[in-house]
Structure 1
Amino acid sequence: MGHEGDGYIWGYQLSKRSGVRSGVLYPQLDRMLDEGWLKDHWEERQDGQKRPPRRYYTLTDSGRRELGAVAHRIQTEQRFSTLRGALA
């Protein structure tokens, strides 16, 4: 468990893919964990591993529903029209 192919992604990788700085991303991930949108786990240490263990995240069913609702609002509400252009 804990590889991107099984729905998990680690924080640094998510930061790089999204272009969101870690100082902005990690507080958001913490909020999403608190709200039940995400679940997380730490990778197991491997013998000889020199880097710190990675923390992996995946969406919960609740998180998928909530983010789907946010995406729908972005697509349909006029106040998000400038954001739609940026995400296209």
Structure 2
Amino acid sequence: MRRSRRPSPQTAAVLLALADRPGEWSHGYDLCRALGLRAGTVYPILMRLAERGHLETAWEQDPPRGRPPRHLYRLSSAGAECVAALATADDGAPVAARRPVPRTAS
């Protein structure tokens, strides 16, 4: 039997950011900027969520000339169910209230 754990605040933030734009494809760089998280945090989360079936993945079609195609992500139906389950935490605080605060340039 698989043990169910609450996702880390960073994983929850990625899921919620993708849930803010249901059905739309996003790439990791946009998520990094929007959440104020580093690529070394976001990309492993995206890979793990995709492996668990919470995300659909695809390669960008027709990228601009001179740039390689980007890997795109969006919530799957299982991911949407996961986000719904995260609606409130065990302590009753909404997950959205615990999103990481984006870093500002210093």
Question: Unaligned regions of 5+ residues in structure 2, if any?
Answer: 1-20, 100-106
Q: Which has the higher contact order (CA 8 A, sep 6+)?
A: 2
Find 2:44's aligned residue among 16, 27, 34. 27
Structure 1 unmatched runs, 5+: none
State the match for 1:77 in structure 2: 91
CA RMSD of superposed structures (Å): 3.0
Give every structure 1 segment of 4 or more consecutive aligned residues whose post-TM-superposition deviation is greater than 6 Å: none
Aligned to 1:67: 83
Aligned to 1:9: 26
What TM-score do you get using the length of structure 1 for normalisation?
A: 0.72
Question: How many residues of Structure 1 are paired with residues of Structure 2 in the alignment?
Answer: 80
DSSP 3-state at the match of 1:72 = coil
Are 2:67 and 1:55 aligned? Answer: no
Supply the AA of the counterpart residue of 1:77. D
Percent identical pairs in the alignment equals 29
Check the 8 A contact 2:22/2:74 in 1, yes or no: no
Bigger Rg, structure 1 or 2: 1
TM normalised by structure 2 equals 0.61
